[in-house]
Structure 1
Amino acid sequence: MFSKEEALQIKKDFWIAFAEAYPRKWLLYNTKIKDVTFKFYVDNKKAQVLLDIEPKDEEKRKIYFEKVFSLKTILMEEYLEEAIFERNYYLESGKIISRIWVEKTGISINNKNTWETIFAFFNENMDAFERFFYENEDYIKDLEINT
């Protein structure tokens, strides 16, 4: 078990190593859609590449999710064949968001021997997710176009 300080240092070292291994600017929060963001997540059991849809306006959240969901076949056949879609995903805080993600298990941020595997997973899947988003961005962003 690691102390709080050691765990923080491991996280810091992990993200620095990732940035050095894959020095590029990721889309992440720059989707130009309020409260629609791409995220990397890793803990001591899994790594995930996420698209979180979390507008406070429930109707907007529903519309954005439905738009991406309507492109599910394209996303899974051409970009991320193992994508998971969840319309109502409950965060630990109790907040409900919509989430689309891919996941890799059997790795750990605390095990430096798995870092390269995590980095490659992040790079490959976030790149695919971003390409999908850019290809379909106009449709996803436009709330006037119904699904």
Structure 2
Amino acid sequence: TKIKDFSFKFYADKKKAEVSLDIEMKDEVFRDAYYNKIWSLEDILKDFIGDFHKEEFYTLENGKVISRIWVEKEGISVFNKNTWREAFEFFVEKMDGFERFYYEYEDFIKDV
């Protein structure tokens, strides 16, 4: 994204897979501004990635508070080879949607 602490991420564990947009700025004013920019495009984002979850104050395992927008797919395990293809297809589809959304609205998002 070329925006510091504003990144797309993949995550998988023994129960699910996730693709997220993590807004991790330490300065709450900037984190809030970027989150609200994305949130103002909610309906458009939904067109790109489908239904999603959002949390303005998401707490990571290490205690750090970030803003996160993500999609997830249950029933996928990194320990089960039978679900790897499904996980890969999910990652490709959702990351592509996030990236297309970002590139389409990049100038608007970056104007903070």
TM-score, scaled relative to structure 2: 0.98
SS in 2 for 1:110: coil
Is 2:89 the partner of 1:120?
yes
Match of 2:61 among 78, 92, 108: 92
Where does the alignment leave 5 or more consecutive residues of structure 2 unmatched? none
- Counterpart of 1:38 in structure 2 is 8
Match of 1:66 among 29, 36, 44: 36
Structure 1 residue 107: deviation in Å?
A: 1.1
User: Cα offset for 1:80?
Assistant: 1.5
SS in 2 for 1:66: helix
Give the TM-score normalised by structure 1. 0.75
Match of 1:51 in 2: 21
Q: Which has the higher contact order (CA 8 A, sep 6+)?
A: 2
What do residues 22-44 of structure 1 show as CA deviations (whole Å, max 9, x unaligned)? Answer: xxxxxxxxx11110000010010
Alpha-carbon separation, structure 1, partners of 2:92 and 2:79? 19
1:112-141 superposed Cα distances (whole Å, 9 cap, x missing partner): 000000000000000011000000101111
Structure 1 stretches lacking a partner, 5+ long: 1-30
Q: Rg larger in 1 or in 2?
A: 1
The residue aligned with 1:7 is none
RMSD: 0.6
How many residues are aligned here? 112
> Which residue in the other structure is 1:80 paired with?
49
What percentage of aligned pairs have identical amino acids? Answer: 60
